[in-house]
Chain A
């Protein structure tokens, strides 16, 4: 399979969570997410004071789509990659940076978070997370899901999608 599956668990997952937590504290951002290139959330942290986040599935999907399009644009122009992306509205902003080949760091921040700090600590966190993701890719865990998983899943399919 060409697309590597990035799986975070155990100590690596804990480290990813710690990095996201530190980044929230250093930057004053509301939410920090590590997502894969397909748009799945691998890990996420919310600042204690932050209001309820928007649907994270949608957020991750759109960021991944956007990043894929941006990367394709870079290639068209003969660049290996473009720098991190910042979107800023009147009150809310979004910081997206590559955490290696397989993942993306996303920071959602409001007007109280200084952009300089977001960029500085965002970049650093992305670099650390990139190494972590590499480590995770190099040691994929063995998934022990047996036929029982499949049987149970099939029963749920009947329930949700009808017979």
Chain B
């Protein structure tokens, strides 16, 4: 649930980038950070290992502007994708309003995509949440790989029912990055006041 601060007339949303290790979650946030003008973003915080793998989370606050007198902000987070960081991954999901699931197009990561989605369902369940309760957008990243799997194949393992909107991306070049963010934001905003 979004956090509303009536006194400061603020509405804050939490969006989490989930997905297997090395799928490009941090790369998405870096791209967003590099393109959003000063004054509309805060500091990006990255808790990473020396080799740039996310250890706890990345964090980037964005300022959408004022809507009907409410300052509206998005807090973007990434989780650590590596399997053994599950304890921290779970913590980041707390209070999530929307999720971007970043899948990897590499053939040898197909299974990792599926396992990460299953892990996400399990972790959400610990907060009493179902995937169906939250806006989720599927980003199929690394479309530039020469041996990239067909999107349908990836979709078939992470979202066989075709429930989530899908965006193809090359996060290193920024392709599909803002399209994905915009869709999840749109869905999150659409739920304001309707609960």
User: Hey, which bits of chain A sit against chain B, CB under 8 A?
Assistant: 1-10, 13, 36-43, 55, 57-58, 61-62, 65, 68-69, 72, 141, 143-146, 148-150, 152-154, 156-162
Residues from chain B with a CB closer than 8 A to the CB of A4 are 1
Chain B 71-113, CB-CB to A under 8 Å as 1, else 0, gives 0100100000000000110011011000000000000000000
Shortest Cβ distance from A105 into chain B, in angstroms? 16
Residues from chain A with a CB closer than 8 A to the CB of B43 are 55, 57-58
Other-chain contact of B181, A72, A148, A161 (Cβ < 8 Å)? A161
Residues from chain A with a CB closer than 8 A to the CB of B95 are 3, 36-38
B172: Cβ under 8 A from any A Cβ: no
Question: How far, in angstroms, from A1 to B185 measured CA to CA in the complex?
Answer: 19
Most chain B C-beta atoms within 10 Å of own C-beta, residue among A10, A41, A160: A160
* Contact, CB under 8 Å: B94 / A3: yes
Shortest Cβ distance from A30 into chain B, in angstroms? 19
From known contacts A62-B45, A72-B87, A161-B182, infer whether A5 and B70 are also in contact, taking CB-CB under 8 Å. Answer: no
Shortest Cβ distance from A99 into chain B, in angstroms? 15
* Contact, CB under 8 Å: A69 / B7: no
User: Hey, which bits of chain B sit against chain A, CB under 8 A?
Assistant: 1-7, 12, 14, 36, 40, 42-43, 45, 47, 56-57, 59, 61-62, 64-65, 67-68, 70, 72, 75, 87-88, 91-92, 94-95, 127-129, 178, 181-182, 185-186, 189-190, 192-193, 195
* Contact, CB under 8 Å: A141 / B186: no
Closest 4 CB pairs of A and B: A9-B6, A38-B95, A145-B193, A2-B128
Residues from chain A with a CB closer than 8 A to the CB of B6 are 7-10, 13, 141
Shortest Cβ distance from A52 into chain B, in angstroms? 14
Shortest Cβ distance from B106 into chain A, in angstroms? 27
Residues from chain B with a CB closer than 8 A to the CB of A146 are 193
From known contacts A154-B189, A156-B65, A160-B64, infer whether A61 and B181 are also in contact, taking CB-CB under 8 Å. Answer: no
Other-chain contact of A148, B65, B68, B182 (Cβ < 8 Å)? B68
Shortest Cβ distance from A37 into chain B, in angstroms? 7
Other-chain contact of B1, A5, A68, A159 (Cβ < 8 Å)? A5
* Contact, CB under 8 Å: B178 / A162: yes
Residues from chain B with a CB closer than 8 A to the CB of A159 are 65
Shortest Cβ distance from B2 into chain A, in angstroms? 7
Shortest Cβ distance from B92 into chain A, in angstroms? 8
5 new A-B contacts, CB < 8 A, other than A38-B94, A57-B43, A153-B192, are A3-B94, A37-B95, A38-B3, A57-B75, A154-B189
Shortest Cβ distance from A137 into chain B, in angstroms? 12
Residue of B nearest to A56 (CB): B42
Residues from chain B with a CB closer than 8 A to the CB of A148 are 68
Shortest Cβ distance from A62 into chain B, in angstroms? 7
Question: How far, in angstroms, from A163 to B55 measured CA to CA in the complex?
Answer: 33
Residue of B nearest to A148 (CB): B68
* Contact, CB under 8 Å: B5 / A149: no
Question: How far, in angstroms, from A86 to B182 measured CA to CA in the complex?
Answer: 40
Question: How far, in angstroms, from A124 to B84 measured CA to CA in the complex?
Answer: 39
* Contact, CB under 8 Å: A65 / B56: yes
Question: How far, in angstroms, from A160 to B12 measured CA to CA in the complex?
Answer: 16
Question: How far, in angstroms, from A77 to B74 measured CA to CA in the complex?
Answer: 35
Shortest Cβ distance from A12 into chain B, in angstroms? 9
* Contact, CB under 8 Å: A152 / B42: no
